[in-house]
Structure 1
């Protein structure tokens, strides 16, 4: 249960005028962002070493992207830059807790990285070669931990922004203070989470990518309308107002959806969910939303929910898992993207990615929704579930909010 155990260890928007009436505005991680040269900046909702970069478009559309500071740095909102952690006052820094000597770095994929507390001041540190960090014991022998230090494998900022409706174009900020439009190379599209033209072959010429599975819950029926006619097994799932309701001990199983030789090297899962707040106090720990371990084996794909977070995980040659914050809106949207190089998550409009090299480990199991082996079952509504194993149009995997 390596992936599940790693995931479990990850610890635990205002109003607008419309037509003369006041309506409640959907909250966003870009609310009250500081604007510089037309781009907004906000601190991350719970991680000192990350921040949010916000791109603004006509009709009040915003695309937020999560960025990560270099190792040993915290985001300073007053200066709009990453600085050595000792110079930044961050309320989420655990070194502020009296008696704290050290704590795990927020990146769950760096087995040797931690924050050392010296007189309440945080310093980024890594254990010596051959050792890994333990949250209670500190650095201990761990031959399997081979991560390198310092960890400068992130993009601390981005002076480019996407162009609405034009996936193969981007705007570059220049020294003379203006944004100039540029084109991506042939066969590539601009990805704001990479700050580069990195989505190779996002559109396959002459072929339209369709979902392998597209579930609807209309007329009290659970049905796949993708055209592939996958049989959906329902265990204790009911239909309520056009969505699937899960009680914590129920699930949907798509047994026949498994890896095939015709896969195009990408997996995309789109869905949205709404918690049942009436039963929130009865639910404890991590809740499974989507996994590919219906037959009891350890899954290689994990989408799970913890309080105020969505956890995404993938088991490959180099495995990855990371949490993304949830904003306070009734329905939360999730997009999971795994290609041969990266795992990308888009939750409530905001995006983040990390290196995840290689194909997903084959579990010989189909997908299950609303449950996961070793986790609590989800309680609430799930709707608009689509699973792709090809690269669709950019509009399918956009991060519009």
Structure 2
């Protein structure tokens, strides 16, 4: 969400939902929007992208018995199912698509052009002498959007791209994108589900958690640093592994994990090849000051002054799940206290 406008996927692959919010982030209204023919909504890039480049869970071709179908487009355009995936097709000249017989003779069907699909109009525009930002044209509104670190806007691809040679770097003063200390009022920083905030700490009873929704679906790429200080209530209990920080709240394994088992702090990272790297470090201190760090292939876990390292190929797997404190898929809920957490991309 930026400047009061946010986007969600629709149950139909070629549609999306545009939300408008008030200043207090309460929903004002929403609109169902239609992507042009041949494109599906891409929640990662927040734009309609070519259907073959979008993994849509509700693709009609995943349904048993569906061989072809039509949603939008001209009279000759339709989708054909190949191995459960929608592919753009076009009937020959002088014929139109029929849901029962695929293409049938139809002299009234005259489609413009010979390319087969309607060209997708790019709603992102390059900015003069500023490759690190682009203009997002949304009707009558224009939003200035930043490219992620290590990329620059490529108008030919209608997106930020690592191959465009110009690299937008992180500012010299690297500020955390999340900084929660549980001391001051932090409206909008997190959503609390049962944790008790008292004396500058958050207490988790094994049935509570805190969600940091703004970190859902963030592409951390090659640099990430998480700093957290926590104290387990039962440091001698080695029967369970409890989630301290994860980004796996939506039923899938978390690519990023800080967990606790007895005196042991465990670290886990999943790369884009879906390979997990795991390591751990012990500490007998009551409070564990932990650093989870990934920097261009070097994966470090630090507990106090003790450090453990591992090499990781590629980049961190992106997760559409929110960051969570005290909970994560595949782990027991945390019992204990958290003093602070900061997250930065440097």
Larger Rg: 2
Question: Which structure shows the higher helix fraction?
Answer: 1
Q: TM-score, normalised by structure 2?
A: 0.47
Higher relative contact order (CA 8 A, sep 6+): 1
